[in-house]
Amino acid sequence: MKEFVIGQNDAGQRLDRFLAKSVPLLPASLAQKYIRIKRIKLNGGRAERDSRLQKGDVLQLYINDEFFEAPREDNAFLTVAVPKLHIVYEDANILLVDKRPGLAVHPHDGAEYGRTLIDHIQAYLYQKREWRPREEHSFTPALCNRIDRNTGGIVIAAKTAEALRVMNQKIKDREMDKRYLAIVEGTPKKKEGSLKGYLFKDAKKNRVFVTDTPQPGSKSCQTDYRVLTTEKGLSLVECKLITGRTHQIRAQFAHAGHPLLGDGKYGKLNKNYERNYQALYSYKLTFAFTTDAEGLSYLNGKSFQVEQVDFVGEYFPNYK
């Protein structure tokens, strides 16, 4: 229990606004719930969210100690009262989540505390009591792969330290089959093929470049693809990453003369379509382990996919 004695400078404020400033990790909806069930009391009695605080009032908060900590990246999950996740698969070790475009996976992508995919995942596991941060000490549920903010698709989260270690190694060893759906402008000459080249990153411009010949600091890149259907100057393609470089699919198709629809970074926005971010979705994941996966061996050969990708129905309504 924490107790606040209201001073002159805090007098006159509404209770809910005082709580938002004094306990920033406590979500507004959860604060309202605690007021309702009397875990937040004013002068030993019932409080109301719009109660006006007076000098000398005593506010008693019967809530978990972690809510009183300073906001940081590692406790931002506390600000999520109702986790919003589209779960594709879950077991005791991993969680597969369909990340929707527009949602950042980490705060490093410029998102505020409590507004990233990892925040919602950690809040979900914390509220299920599968993860107890004050008892774990060293382990925190983490993402095994990342997807750009405006790209959607399946993200793997590890719920245990062993799962994180094994899954990270499998991704490094390319023992995963990841398939993407993308809409490109125009129609590739070959309905099925490989885009090969060399990719290097310009950190100052925050973008990558693809060339046909090696350049200093470049790495080889390869994307296999097949055209699924074509309509009105657009092609729906399935892509398989052979290498996993930054912005690989986007940069390679742009280099090949077929930029992704809506990709203003590597192409030009098509005025005929109201889309201002790339039509790209990591829609299918297959675990294809070729070496020992230890406690995750039961996943070998299993495949998971997002059944409905919004832009497919929007631009190719007749495709099934």
* pLDDT, mean of residues 123-129: 95
Sorted by sequence, the CB contacts under 8 Å of residue 124 that are 6+ apart come out as 83, 85
Residue 298's nearest CA partner among 86, 93, 88 is 93
**Is 90 exceeded by the pLDDT of residue 229?**
yes
Counted residue by residue, the chain has a size of 320
Q: Biggest alpha carbon distance in the chain? A: 77
Dihedral angle of Cα 161, 164, 168, 171, to the nearest 10 degrees: 150
In the three-class reduction of DSSP (H, G, I as helix; E, B as strand; rest coil), residue 37 is classed as: coil
- At 16 the three-state DSSP class reads helix
pLDDT above 80 (res 33): yes
Give the model's pLDDT for residue 157.
Answer: 98
- Arithmetic mean of pLDDT over the chain: 94
Cβ count near 228 (within 10 Å): 14
Alpha-carbon distance values, 259 to 22, 182, 310 (Å): 49, 10, 19
Domains defined along the chain, listed by start = 2-68 (3.10.290.10), 73-172 (3.30.2350.10), 176-315 (3.30.2350.10)
Kindly report, residue by residue over 281-313, the tens digit of the pLDDT: 999 999 999 999 999 999 999 999 999 999 999
Pairing of the two strands 280-287 and 152-158? parallel
DSSP for 255-273?
Answer: HTT-PBTT-TTTS---TTS
φ and ψ of 261, to 5 deg: -60, 130
Asked whether the predicted pLDDT for residue 74 surpasses 90, the reply is no
Percentage of the residues of the chain whose pLDDT score is greater than 90 = 85
| Mean pLDDT of the 140-165 span | 95
DSSP string for residues in 269-314: --TTS---S--EEEEEEEE---S--GGGGGGTT-EEE-S--HHHHH
pLDDT of 173-193, one tens digit each? 999 999 999 999 999 999 999
Q: Are strands 2-5 and 94-99 parallel, antiparallel or unpaired?
A: unpaired
Q: What token pair was written down for 106?
A: 């980490």
Phi-psi bin for 301: left (phi > 0), alpha (psi -120 to 50), beta? left
Mean pLDDT of 66-95: 93
Amino acid residing at 262: G
Q: How far apart are CA 85 and CA 17, in angstroms?
A: 28
Residue type, 153: G
